[in-house]
Amino acid sequence: MNELLKLIDSLVQTAPPKRHAFEQVLAAIALEKKRLAEWQALADLHQREVLAKYLPLRRRYAEQQAILVQLMDEHLHQERFTPQQTDKLSQLIRLLCEQILAVIPEPRIESIQQRHVFQATPTQVAGNKKMLLEQPAQYEDDEFEAAQQAAANQRAAYKQAAKQQAKQAREQTASLKSTQSIRAVYRDLVARLHPDREPDPIEQQRKTMLMQQVNLAYQAQDLLKLFELQLAAEHLSPRQSKQIATEQLEHYQRVLMKQLQQLQTASQNLELGLKAAAHLRPSELFSAKRLKQSFKADVKLLQQQLSAIQSLLQALRDAQSFKLWLNAYELDPD
């Protein structure tokens, strides 16, 4: 950056207004780099927390879901069910399979999923709900209430898992956009610094050294370093600067404005990803405290769901208890 400023000084001795415009853009870039570094540090910290505390729990929960799916599939093939019960059970199995395979690759679950690809119609869903009103009368009240509560708990867990998947999708979208920003800057540098396209041996050596740094920065996904190298790539020899002072000044203005826009886009992408992680809408105000609170709540809820599904598995091994639970479970029409 200092070399660039020195060169600009030599180019704009007779053009103070242009110098002032440069200073404004450079100041904006400095602020945006600071902002991007802060977002990146927070995103890295959150990612480490997710990897250490959340994902291991999520995998354990998915493993328990896989056991539940296999248990459901076994009951379906070993016990007698009404057509409505069979439809409902198939829908539950498909829902669980989708959630499991989004977290862990499991060939047995994929195989079960393939056997339940039929999609229930709205009429069948309505029939399931009607059946819920008709069947419970044959069971004892306390047994049915317990089954209803277990079904309600599991239904809430399904909904929460769906919300979590949606949140992860938003985070992944923001992460993809951030990766695309890095790739765009990298491609721009490769196009301008390719040593084989440089006839001057000295300049070729300089570009070779810069390209080595560019490749290292890209491998590390270090966007800030790539931005620094983007400016370093604009270095000009004194011979060139004397020949095209005005044109070069305008060129630098374009380069800096483009970099400012790229920095702003990168910051916005990181911000959106962190807002999604904190269960915030894009328009809502973000805070690191809110992110921390949301993450703790996510971990606590997942721990509760893990405990609940383990208890449910024990209860549903009995065929009669399983049918009670299935009848009490209401499919979400959404």
Complete DSSP assignment for 17-73: HHHHHHHHHHHHHHHHHHHHHHHHHHHHHHHHHIIIIIHHHHHHHHHHHHHHHHHHH
pTM above 0.85, yes or no: no
Q: Of the candidates 162, 128, 139, 95, which has an alpha carbon nearest to the alpha carbon of residue 322? A: 139
Containing H/E element for 285? Answer: none
pLDDT confidence of residue 165? 54
Domain ranges of the chain: 19-276+286-326
Alpha carbons 235 and 99: distance in angstroms, whole number: 52
How crowded is residue 100: how many other Cβ atoms within 10 Å of its Cβ? 25
Residues of the chain with pLDDT under 50: 11, 14, 119-144, 146-148, 236-244
pLDDT confidence of residue 224? 72
Determine the Cα angle at 280 with ends 279 and 286, to 5°.
Answer: 120
Q: Of the candidates 100, 132, 95, 102, which has an alpha carbon nearest to the alpha carbon of residue 116? A: 95
pLDDT confidence of residue 107? 93
DSSP H helical segments within the chain, as ranges? 2-11, 16-49, 55-78, 83-101, 107-115, 122-134, 141-193, 201-219, 223-232, 238-243, 245-277, 288-316, 319-328
Containing H/E element for 136? Answer: none
pLDDT confidence of residue 34? 92
pLDDT confidence of residue 190? 84
For the chain, the straight-line distance linking the first and the last C-alpha, in angstroms and rounded, comes to 55
pLDDT tens-digit series, residues 259-304: 888 889 989 999 999 999 999 999 999 999 999 999 999 999 999 9
Alpha carbons 178 and 155: distance in angstroms, whole number: 35
Alpha carbons 47 and 9: distance in angstroms, whole number: 43
pLDDT tens-digit series, residues 206-222: 888 888 888 988 888 77
Average confidence score pLDDT of the chain: 77
Q: Determine phi and psi for 287, rounding to 5 degrees.
A: -145, 150
The first and second tokens of residue 282, run together, are 């894009």
pLDDT confidence of residue 199? 81
